[in-house]
Copies of this chain bind each other. A is one copy, B any other.
């Protein structure tokens, strides 16, 4: 048995931080050796600092760890970050770790759109990891690799096989997003009770921009944005976990609906080939029932790492439409970052 890689978690007390801890508890390659969070928690044990909000108990292994400041050095070989992207803290902290030589595997939005930072979905654009070398040229041995926004990742993953096979030219996505996407305390109960909120700050812009980068091509040492138009309208609904998106696509080719379905249902990529620990057998599960996917029933498919697609039909305005769903704090956040790290190990990028 090989020695586990020691990891630190930035933003460990938040909702995504807790998911990191939960998903890493019995991970075969990683062990948590450091926890960091914002001011109020520092110096406390994790058990004192953190109200555990996920089902089940806080893992024993982290209870007595001291919460450190999110500043290098930390006693670890790589850091996972779920620091909030707004306000500059994530950018400063993650940048400092990268400059100090740490690989930073970030769920934060801070660096996602930086030209030399990979915005990675292992099944979709692993060749973007070539940016690590570009990035290292500019700095130390450390680097930042990011995963997309929780809605974008689901959308881009569902689009990837369609884009590869048929060429996506336009995407219209309307999301119905879960409460956990806003962190804790996040959305006030009085705000969402018997209600839908048609606004999530910055979310529509993120989906519209990030999708183009993810599906873009690495060429001449940079990412060429994918030549497509993306429209996003985002809503918060009264669901704990699981983002849903109603999607229409326009394609260059004119595939039959069975070909569209097969492209998604049979899609596998490098993570499946490499049998990465967190890689789902089917990145996209296509369901035939008229009333699926559903948030509660499908969010945990593939241990929360699969996107479930259903209601695939021809569309009157664009070419095809479908509904996609995935777990926003697993595939859409902590699980995404962990899969990114697993890929980096498999490709020898961690040394």
* Interface residues of A, Cβ cutoff 8 Å to B: 15, 53, 55-56, 170-172, 174, 176, 179-180, 184-199, 208, 229-231, 233, 235, 237-240, 244, 246, 248, 250, 290-297, 300, 310-311, 315-318, 321, 323
Whether B240 and A190, one on each chain, are in contact in the complex, defined by CB atoms closer than 8 angstroms, is yes
Using Cβ atoms and an 8 Å threshold, which residues of chain B touch A315? 231
Question: How many subunits of this chain does the assembly comprise?
Answer: 4
Minimum distance in angstroms from A55 CB to a CB of chain B: 6
Q: CA–CA, A172 to B190, complex, Å?
A: 29
26 A–B pairs (Cβ distance < 8 Å), ordered by A: A55-B297, A172-B172, A176-B196, A180-B190, A184-B190, A184-B191, A185-B185, A185-B191, A186-B188, A187-B188, A189-B192, A190-B240, A193-B239, A193-B240, A195-B294, A195-B295, A197-B291, A198-B292, A229-B317, A230-B316, A231-B315, A231-B321, A233-B246, A235-B244, A237-B237, A317-B318
Bound-state CA distance A292–B238 (Å) is 16
A244 to B317, CA, bound (A): 20
| Least Cβ–Cβ distance between A54 and chain B, in angstroms | 8
20 further A-B pairs in the complex, CB-CB below 8 A; given A172-B172, A198-B294, A238-B238: A55-B296, A55-B300, A179-B189, A184-B191, A185-B185, A185-B190, A186-B190, A193-B194, A193-B238, A195-B239, A195-B296, A196-B237, A196-B294, A197-B294, A198-B291, A198-B311, A208-B316, A229-B316, A233-B246, A233-B311
